[in-house]
Homo-oligomer: A and B are copies of this chain.
Amino acid sequence: MDHEKRAIVLVSGGLDSATCLAIAQAEGYACYALSFDYGQRSVSELRAAERLAEAAGVAEHRTLPIDMGAIGGSALTDRAIAVPEEETEGIPVTYVPARNTVFLSYALAWAEVVEADAIFIGVNALDYSGYPDCRPEYINAFQALMDLATKAGVEGDTIELRTPLIDLTKAEIIEVGLQLGVDYSATVSCYQADEQGRACGLCDSCRLRKKGFADAGGEDPTRYRE
């Protein structure tokens, strides 16, 4: 390693990616935080991403506008589809088609440009809400793709796809984050947070987060609407 270690870190503004960023920094990577404005319902999530990246003192933070709404098909980008407020079977309507594939593609492009050694993404296979693109086999397939897709790959230099949260429960993620000093009050997990970043407390993402804090035995700093 003849240069500083660099990592692209996907930062959504949520609990998982905030923890993931803290882990990448604790490992000594200069972090290039990447967020996406993809027509998600909750703009407060993006503001949270900005605050988190700034507080962490990242090397750079970029928010790319990407038009997932033009593709449609998800409750998170299409206001005609309601966010469910109780548990559902199978792959939920909040699934955004190919979202992680699109996100990781841009991360890969930026990784090539800044000559990053790694890409960090805070996916989680336990509390994964049934999304196909959060599973370990998906991550392995994307790593295989990265090895073939890039200049670096052709020249024998691998960019590593890192998923430090993949085997952790939500409670374990929170424990790691608290040890690393993550300010969870600055994160927004809710699929339908209001302008002030206050959570509904009812959606899938809120339920997972609540349970995580309860299991971790920590105080839940989330601001709820009621």
A interface list, Cβ under 8 A from B: 62, 64-68, 70-73, 91, 95-102, 104-106, 108-110, 112-113, 132-133, 135, 137-138, 141-142, 144-145, 147-151, 153-154
Contact = CB atoms under 8 A, between A and B. Distances in A.
Number of copies: 2
B113 A150 contact: no
A113 B97 CA distance: 7
B149 A138 contact: yes
A2 B95 CA distance: 25
A133 B106 CA distance: 14
Given A73-B113, A97-B112, A132 B105 contact: no
A67 to B, nearest CB: 6
B109 A71 contact: yes
A133 B73 CA distance: 28
Contacts of A101: 105, 108-109, 145, 149
B113 A109 contact: no
B91 A98 contact: no
- Top 6 A-B pairs, shortest CB-CB distance: A98-B109, A97-B112, A73-B113, A97-B109, A102-B105, A141-B145
